[in-house]
Amino acid sequence: MKISRFTVYNKIVTPEKLTKVNPENIQLGEDFLEYLQSIDRSPDTIKGYRNDLKIFWVWCLDFNGNKYFPELTKREVAKFQNYALNTWNWGSSRMRRVKSCLSSLSNYIQDILDDEKEFENYKPIIRKIENPAKTARREKTVLTDEQVDGLLETLVERKEYECACAIAIAAYSGMRHGELLQMRPDFFNDNHFVYDSMWKTDKVRAKGHGKDGLQLNKFVLYGAKPYIDLWMNERKEKGINSEWMFVTVTVNGTKRIWKKRKDTSSWVKQCTEILGVDFYLHSLRHYTCTKLHRMNLPAHVIQEFFGWASSEMLQIYNDLTAEDEFGKYFTKDGVKEIKQGSLTDI
């Protein structure tokens, strides 16, 4: 039986326990988060750090005498890591993320609070504890053209036009989840159509530092058009006048209120059921990159298409194996003559 992708969730933090946490730790944490706001850190980063700190404070409460953070020893940090990995069953990535939060807090104490007598001799210790080896906790899903085409066909047959539109845009752009939900209908008009092959959206917030993140134009290849048209027509029929492409509805009496969609979990569940394999939106980012690479587009073109700072990201998102690569260039008669692809071919 296939084991699907999973995340281990443990109910570690409760309101009752938080009331018992060392108030000095609570105050230190709040000061740290306030500092992050002052230097324009992303709200998502701050939210994640807040949750991570609560977990660590509760561990200190339950298993480390409610000790004040600046007084921790390396042995105690190692004990926390051991407990998280082996009792809470955390994966290496989650462990690294929480330690990154704690390390940032340590740096804040050393760099910002060093003029206060209490902290003048403080030395960060979190990084002294070696991170666990990075291991994959989830089975990676590599999608084929046939699977993606079949998925879109099934969604259309079911008249799930909004979902089909979202999947098509993701498959023909490689957008992240957060970027996809920032799409607007006007991004897909003639004024945004460029190079006779794609739409170029206005800048949207991509993953990056700061409250506004990294602002990028996204490119959506023309192959998504049939699915965009189906959803645009349905929006018109339903009287959806929201500025956002993907929406949810609330009913207030006889009035329908359309709001920007914030979650795609129902779509992901539906696509997993159709495909019979684990589906997650990020797999389409890999799919797009792999497709562009298979068509022999130059690395710098793929880099610009995704808005990456470096073409090294191509190695992360390209799912072609060494055998796939060899097959592109060699036959029993020798080396193939390779034709360079074009974005208009997709």
- In this prediction the pTM is 0.72
pLDDT in tens, 9-65: 458 999 999 999 999 999 999 999 999 999 989 888 999 999 999 999 999 999 999
Amino acid identity for residue 242 in this structure: S
Report if residue 315 sits inside a domain. no
CATH number at residue 33: 1.10.150
What number is the average pLDDT over the span 141-169? 98
Angle between helices 225-238 and 161-171 (to 10 degrees): 150
Cβ-based neighbours of 184, under 8 Å, separated by 6 or more: 201, 202, 243, 244, 245
> 337 exposed, middle or buried (CB, 10 Å; 0-12, 13-18, 19+)?
exposed
Per-residue pLDDT at 139:
76
pLDDT in tens, 285-342: 999 999 999 998 999 999 999 999 988 899 899 998 866 665 565 566 655 555 655 5
Same domain, 107 and 169: no
Look at the chain and count its residues.
346
End position of a domain, from candidates 278, 309, 329 = 278
Same domain, 120 and 34: yes
SS3 content of the chain, % helix, strand, coil (to 5): 55, 10, 40
Percent of the chain with pLDDT over 90: 77
Same domain, 149 and 114: no
Calculate ∠ Cα 32-38-44, nearest 5°. 75
> 167 exposed, middle or buried (CB, 10 Å; 0-12, 13-18, 19+)?
buried
Per-residue pLDDT at 35:
97
Count up the domains in the chain and report the number.
2
Host domain of residue 80: 15-128
Per-residue pLDDT at 10:
58
Report if residue 135 sits inside a domain. no
Asked if pLDDT for residue 6 goes beyond 50, the answer is no
